[in-house]
Amino acid sequence: MFSDLIKEENSIIQEVILPNNNRFVKVFIKRDDLIHPEISGNKWRKLKYNINAAIECKYKTILTFGGAFSNHIYAVASAGKIFGFNTIGIIRGEEHLPLNPTLSFATKCGMELHYLDRTTYRKRNDESFREELANLYNNPFVVPEGGSNLFALQGVEELVGDINIEYDYICCANGTGGTIAGIISALKGNKKVLGFPSLKGGEFLYEVIDKFVFQYTGNKYNNYLLVTDYHFGGYAKINKELVNFINLFEEINNIPLDPIYTAKMFYGINRLIKNGFFKDGETIIAVHTGGLQGLMGMKEKMQKLKAKK
């Protein structure tokens, strides 16, 4: 059913060259950004079995949560249009008009937007609050912020199964922890996994990830590490150094990176290689988790930073 609309086979593996790096470490990129132009990267991996469950249980509406620039909101809106669901987006913060490119796209796909102040939004995972939303919006299928739940882990596991070369590390960017939890679950203690949180203070994700993995597998694995030094000040924060890295990476490899997640991961990998974290001869698989729609909202800021002396 999905294969006619979403092309997972497009997610090829390519070797990349990192800027100004002459260490003998091989780096490959898993191009999940090519799966679909709108439901790309880890968003498709995480939504796939959520959508399947909603279809099997005959839900008509999917409700989810996210910020005003959320890749997840963007992807769920597109999925709703493609698979015939009504969609409701619960958005953190106040409405700002005109809508930014992310939310404008979501509404064009038919998503109904509702805004919550940040205090109320923090209750998004509370069971009593979820019941209120279910009553208010006629019992929708609820997908958590970022799409991270056990259905998500099932989809991400398939990413690991698609890797057909030998490697030592898998690396991915982290937001809500579902993607790295799915990778860890699939590896079952083998290989090594590095996560690069885009949030400042991303150490809190250890508890989130361990909980996801244990719920899904019944086990706890210690073959992963969170690298929390490359958030550039916090979620969606960037500077000229990161922008220059993005531009140079694309110039060398002809592969675009989003500035919020994947670019920070690759910058971190590059620094770790230069600092001798990896052994010469080791091979890294870095997952491109998509999110390129975020470039639209960051374009002006990136251009200003690029021009800054």
Specify the pairing of strand 26-30 against strand 13-16. antiparallel
Distance CA 196, CA 288 (A): 12
Is residue 258 domain-shared with residue 236, that is, in the same domain? yes
At residue 234, the pLDDT reads 87
Phi, psi of 265 (to 5 degrees): -60, -50
Is residue 47 domain-shared with residue 32, that is, in the same domain? no
At residue 305, the pLDDT reads 72
Q: Work out the mean pLDDT of the chain and round it to a whole number.
A: 93
Is residue 275 domain-shared with residue 158, that is, in the same domain? yes
Is residue 173 domain-shared with residue 303, that is, in the same domain? yes
pLDDT at 42 over 80: yes
Structural domain boundaries enclosing 138: 41-147
Q: Exposure pattern of 69-80 as b/e (b: 16+ CB <10 Å)?
A: bbbbbbbbbbbb
At residue 20, the pLDDT reads 78
- With vertex at residue 174, the alpha carbon angle to CA 299 and CA 220, rounded to the nearest 5 degrees, is 175
The domain boundary residue, chosen from 147, 180, 209: 147
Is residue 163 domain-shared with residue 234, that is, in the same domain? yes
Is residue 179 domain-shared with residue 301, that is, in the same domain? yes
At residue 309, the pLDDT reads 61
Is residue 203 domain-shared with residue 273, that is, in the same domain? yes
pLDDT at 88 over 90: yes
pTM over 0.75: yes
Is residue 158 domain-shared with residue 301, that is, in the same domain? yes
Number of separate domains in the chain: 2
Q: How many residues does the chain have?
A: 309
Mean pLDDT to the nearest integer, 127-145: 93
At residue 286, the pLDDT reads 98
- What are 228's two structure tokens? 């929390």
The CATH number of residue 75's host domain is 3.40.50.1100
The domain boundary residue, chosen from 112, 147, 182: 147
Amino acid letter, residue 105: F
Is residue 120 domain-shared with residue 166, that is, in the same domain? no
Contact 42, 156 (CB under 8 A): yes
Is residue 166 domain-shared with residue 255, that is, in the same domain? yes
pLDDT at 307 over 90: no
pLDDT at 270 over 80: yes
Is residue 185 domain-shared with residue 74, that is, in the same domain? no
Is residue 106 domain-shared with residue 8, that is, in the same domain? no
259: number of Cβ within 10 Å: 26
Mean pLDDT to the nearest integer, 61-66: 97
Distance CA 253, CA 177 (A): 28
At residue 3, the pLDDT reads 65
The domain boundary residue, chosen from 125, 147, 169: 147
Instruction: Render pLDDT for 208-227 as a digit per residue (tens, 0 to 9).
Output: 999 999 999 999 999 999 99
Mean pLDDT to the nearest integer, 287-297: 87
